[in-house]
């Protein structure tokens, strides 16, 4: 998952840090492609965000590949 997608979902670096129980500098230091530790935090601490950002997106990708 891209960091910008996550930041947009939560509304910025500060809000993302609060939601994932980390400090703002930690979020700022994450690479563009989120590390597994961040993905685990999202799944565990923010299951709705995980659903919205990962599960729904994957379902849309699969649906777009199905023949009409």
**For residue range 8-44, what is the model confidence (pLDDT) as tens digits?**
999 999 999 999 999 999 999 999 999 999 999 999 9
Per-residue confidence (pLDDT) for residue 34, from 0 to 100: 94
Pair 27, 16: CB distance under 8 Å: yes
Q: Are 27 and 17 in contact (CB under 8 A)?
A: yes
User: Is the whole-model pTM more than 0.85?
Assistant: no
The DSSP call for residue 2 is B
Check residue 67 and give its pLDDT: 82
Q: How confident is the model at residue 55 (pLDDT cuts 50, 70, 90)?
A: confident
């Amino acid at each position: 998952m891209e960091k910008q997608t996550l930041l947009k979902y939560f509304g910025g670096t500060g809000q993302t840090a609060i939601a994932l129980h980390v400090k703002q500098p930690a979020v700022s230091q994450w690479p563009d492609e989120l590390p597994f530790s961040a993905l685990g935090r999202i799944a565990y601490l923010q299951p709705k965000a995980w659903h919205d950002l990962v599960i729904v997106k994957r379902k849309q990708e699969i649906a777009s590949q199905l023949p009409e």
